[in-house]
């Protein structure tokens, strides 16, 4: 496994191994790796891609300084995890490598509703930061395949939109959510839950699952009310629970408005830990 901390270092290496028969698969992460990340990295390795993982906690996508400060950074553990997985290249830049004088700008694209609702409404500036860093990392690594998780569905949709708008020559693969055995979506933030709250957090999965089970039987407003009733018990507080179109992530309030592929998306606070999850609903 090769480890690079500088942009010229990683660029030079990737240039030297570039081969039309072996696609370069790239998985951007913020580290504190867990089995959710592992599912993306394994997919890349098993697909025969030359696998590049970046570890960079991007300050511009944090709208809360405290959250940035508390973000876990277990770099030695991450590196040995990646080594054991068989990852080919790790890019571990510092802020100067990403945010030097001339770059990077936030790509000037119209995100429409994607940058107004859900995560964007509650985390102002978050997606500008995500676009900025992903665009910069893509420019450095120039992968053939970009691999991201559906755990961050709005992020995935926004990046897909950016690739289309900027006409970038990279293929985006969105992979399913990896879950703990009780159903909780794997996340670096789960580690910040107390043992008791970690056990209780399964309620998020249960609410999404119950919504999917009853999706064809009830109106959206009833499904939403039931989900909120299940989840909203202190210290859990739901920030949003909505139904969205799979393609555009526009919020749907009524099945009469739209009856195509739909996903339920939610964000829930547990004390100072914010958890997000989503689940695709069965076809009507
Ligand atoms: P992060 O390190 O949180 O920025 O995540 C890096 C990538 O891993 C993103 O594309 C996430 O969507 C993805 N990811 C994080 N958790 C999961 C999970 N539980 N299942 C699938 N993908 C995940």
Q: What is the pTM of this model?
A: 0.97
User: 280 pairs with which residues across the strands?
Assistant: 263
Nearest CA to ligand 1 atom 22: 149
pLDDT in the model for residue 105: 79
Report the length, in residues, of the chain: 284
25: left (phi over 0), alpha (psi -120 to 50) or beta: beta
Q: Is the peptide bond before 235 cis (omega within 30 degrees of 0)?
A: yes
Which of 37, 43, 88, 161 is flagged as catalytic?
37
Query: Is 39 touching ligand 1 by the criterion CB < 6 Å?
Result: yes
What is the DSSP-derived secondary structure letter of residue 91?
E
pLDDT in the model for residue 102: 67
Do the beta carbons of residue 135 and residue 104 sit within 8 Å? yes
What mean pLDDT comes out for the span 229-257?
A: 97
pLDDT by residue (tens digit) across 167-202? 999 999 999 999 999 999 999 999 999 999 999 999
Nearest atom in ligand 1 to 37's CA: 8
Do the beta carbons of residue 277 and residue 180 sit within 8 Å? no
User: What percent of the chain clears pLDDT 70, i.e. is strictly above it?
Assistant: 99
Tokens standing for 232? 């909203």
Do the beta carbons of residue 175 and residue 147 sit within 8 Å? yes
pLDDT by residue (tens digit) across 27-52? 999 999 999 999 999 999 999 999 99
What mean pLDDT comes out for the span 214-229?
A: 98
Query: Is 189 touching ligand 1 by the criterion CB < 6 Å?
Result: no
For the residues of 131-178, what is the DSSP string, one character each? HHHHHHHHHHH--SEEEEEGGGHHHHHHHHHHHHHHT-S-EEEEEPPP
Do the beta carbons of residue 184 and residue 190 sit within 8 Å? yes
Q: Which residues, other chains included, contact 110 with Cβ-Cβ below 8 Å and sequence gap of 6+? A: 165
Compute the mean pLDDT over every residue in the chain, rounded to the nearest whole number.
Answer: 96
Tokens standing for 182? 């009780």
Query: Is 37 touching ligand 1 by the criterion CB < 6 Å?
Result: yes
Is residue 210 over pLDDT 90? yes
pLDDT in the model for residue 73: 95
Nearest atom in ligand 1 to 178's CA: 20
Nearest by Cα to 29 from 65, 100, 81, 104: 81
Sign of CA dihedral 117, 121, 126, 128: positive
Tokens standing for 188? 């670096």
Q: 10 Å Cβ neighbour count for 78?
A: 21
Do the beta carbons of residue 136 and residue 104 sit within 8 Å? yes
Nearest CA to ligand 1 atom 18: 36
């Amino acid at each position: 496994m090769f480890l690079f901390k500088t942009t010229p270092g990683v660029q030079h290496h990737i240039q030297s191994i570039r081969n039309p028969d072996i696609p370069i698969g790239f998985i951007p992460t913020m580290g504190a790796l867990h089995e959710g990340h592992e599912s993306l990295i394994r997919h890349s390795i098993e697909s025969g891609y030359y696998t590049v993982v970046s570890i960079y906690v991007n300050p511009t996508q944090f709208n809360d300084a405290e959250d940035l400060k508390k973000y876990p950074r277990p770099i030695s553990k991450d590196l040995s995890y990646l080594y054991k997985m068989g990852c080919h290249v790790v890019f571990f830049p510092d802020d100067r490598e990403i945010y030097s004088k001339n770059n990077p700008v936030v790509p000037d694209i119209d995100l429409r509703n994607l940058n107004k609702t859900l995560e964007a409404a509650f985390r102002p500036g978050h997606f500008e930061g995500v676009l900025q860093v992903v665009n910069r990392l893509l420019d450095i690594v120039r992968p053939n395949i970009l691999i991201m998780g559906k755990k961050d569905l709005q992020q995935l949709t926004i990046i897909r939109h950016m690739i289309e708008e900027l006409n970038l020559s990279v293929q985006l693969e969105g992979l399913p959510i990896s879950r703990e055995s009780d159903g909780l979506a794997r996340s670096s933030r789960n580690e910040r839950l107390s043992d008791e709250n970690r056990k209780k957090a399964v309620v998020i999965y249960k609410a999404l699952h119950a919504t999917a089970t009853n999706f064809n039987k009830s109106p959206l407003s009833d499904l939403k009310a039931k989900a909120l009733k299940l989840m909203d018990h202190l210290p859990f507080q739901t920030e949003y629970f909505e139904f969205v179109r799979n393609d555009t992530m526009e919020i749907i309030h009524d099945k009469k408005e739209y009856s195509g592929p739909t996903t339920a998306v939610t964000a829930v606070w547990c004390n100072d830990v914010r958890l997000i999850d989503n689940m695709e609903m069965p076809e009507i």
